[in-house]
Amino acid sequence: MELVYKHDNRPWMIGFSGGKDSTLLCCLVFEMLMQLEPNEINKKVYIVSSDTMVENPIVRDYMHDMSKRIGDTGVKYKIETRIIKPEVEKTFWSCVIGLGYPTPEAPGFRWCTDKLKIRPINRFVTETIDNAGEIVMLLGVRKAESSYRARGIKSREIEGKLLIPHTDIKNAYVYNPLTEIPNERIWNYLLSGDAVTPWGSSNKYLFSLYQGENLSEEQSTLGEIDEKKVAVTGKKLDQKVYTHHSGYVGGLKTITLKKQLEKKPEEVLKHAVKGMLPKNALGRKMFSKLHVYAGPEHAHAAQKPEVLELKF
């Protein structure tokens, strides 16, 4: 990325949606620029977000907040943020109510993406090209997103070339620095270092927005517990009691924390984690991906689990 940046003075444009891939791309660009000497920062970097004016309010507010934070922090790196909106006569409700367009329904007449996102962004790109001559567009697309996306990226690749001419916009070039990054690396990176971005926000909130999504990259978590290292304060070893019921008359069973640690220490951690999860289908789905064992032996060698170092 640094090599491409230093190669010329053409401005960069990054499409920022607020999602995990565009956030990763912005973080990497920030980190690259922060390592350069002041005299090496030689071009404008536009981070452009598209507000269709019919976005989910939570996502819209998050995107606007991130755009402002990025713009405020990126001034010294020649980073400039823009929120692009469609022209008034081409907004969603103008088209639906004023012009009688049908509401978009897959796989029918899907006009909204073109009018509300693609055309406004392309208009900004064209204006930038008129002023600068050429532009390099950085996209956060990855082959691991889906087989369809992988085919699309591969069909446009030019062997030995990092920059690819845009298929529709003259003097615009596309740079895809994330194409080979696998799914499991995305959240590992975004949540590292206490999940703080270069512009001061927390990716933990971004992660919470993805909860409940049907993500192909969701993975199970494998935990090992040493009952001798479980920290307990006060008299909880003897006073904390776990209860369960067999479902039959007189079937109420109780066991203290001390005895549970001796008998099934893994159940202590599972009970604690379950208590912190949402009490709904999402929580049950998340909990099903946790596997805890008392010791290093487990039945998941075929899944090739990786050690995750936690720093507190």
| pLDDT tens column, 50-65 | 999 988 898 899 999 9
Nearest-angstrom CA–CA distance, 254 and 87: 66
Instruction: Give the tens place of pLDDT for each residue, 113-137.
Output: 888 989 999 999 999 999 999 999 9
Query: Residue 158: is its pLDDT beyond 70?
Result: yes
- For the chain, the residue count is 312
Q: What is the mean pLDDT of the chain?
A: 87
Query: Per-residue confidence at 310, pLDDT binned at 50, 70, 90?
Result: low
Q: Residue 222's pLDDT is what?
A: 53
Q: Residue 312's pLDDT is what?
A: 42
Nearest-angstrom CA–CA distance, 278 and 20: 22
Query: Per-residue confidence at 36, pLDDT binned at 50, 70, 90?
Result: very high
Nearest-angstrom CA–CA distance, 166 and 243: 63
pLDDT: which is higher, 289 or 80: 80
Q: Residue 50's pLDDT is what?
A: 93
Distance between terminal CA atoms of the chain? Answer: 32
CA dihedral 64, 70, 76, 82 (to 10 degrees): -40
The mean per-residue pLDDT over the stretch 204-228 comes to 64
Contact criterion met (CB below 8 Å) for 166 and 177: no
CATH architecture of 222-303: Alpha-Beta Complex (3.90)
- Per the structure block, which two tokens stand in for 197? 């971005």
Can you give the residue ranges of every domain in the chain?
2-209, 222-303
Strand order in the sheet with 79-84: 79-84, 45-50, 12-15, 135-138, 172-175, 163-165
pLDDT: which is higher, 81 or 150: 81
Query: Per-residue confidence at 288, pLDDT binned at 50, 70, 90?
Result: confident
Query: Residue 216: is its pLDDT beyond 60?
Result: no
Percent of the chain with pLDDT over 70: 91
pLDDT: which is higher, 185 or 172: 172
- Per the structure block, which two tokens stand in for 203? 């990716």
The mean per-residue pLDDT over the stretch 182-211 comes to 86
Q: Residue 204's pLDDT is what?
A: 87
Q: Residue 221's pLDDT is what?
A: 54
Mean pLDDT comparison of 34-43, 100-109, 290-299, highest-scoring range: 34-43
> Strand pairing partners for 30?
none
Query: Per-residue confidence at 292, pLDDT binned at 50, 70, 90?
Result: confident
What residue type is 132 in one-letter code?
Answer: A
Q: Could you say which of 3.40.50.620, 1.20.1440.120, 3.40.470.10, 3.40.50.720 is the CATH number of the domain covering 2-209?
A: 3.40.50.620
The mean per-residue pLDDT over the stretch 23-49 comes to 95
The mean per-residue pLDDT over the stretch 203-219 comes to 68
Residue 107, preceding bond cis, omega within 30 degrees? yes
Run of H or E including 47: strand 45-50
Q: Residue 83's pLDDT is what?
A: 95
- From the CA atom positions of the chain, what is the Rg in Å? 25
> Strand pairing partners for 45?
12, 79
User: E strands of the chain, at which residues?
Assistant: 12-15, 45-50, 79-84, 135-138, 163-165, 172-175, 221-224, 241-245, 252-256, 290-293
The model's pTM is 0.70
Q: Residue 107's pLDDT is what?
A: 61
Query: Per-residue confidence at 284, pLDDT binned at 50, 70, 90?
Result: confident
- Per the structure block, which two tokens stand in for 291? 């596997």
Residue with tokens 């916009």: 169
Run of H or E including 129: helix 119-132
Closest CA to 59 of 24, 90, 28, 16: 16
Range 223-236 burial, b when 16+ CB lie within 10 A, else e = ebbebeeeeeeeee
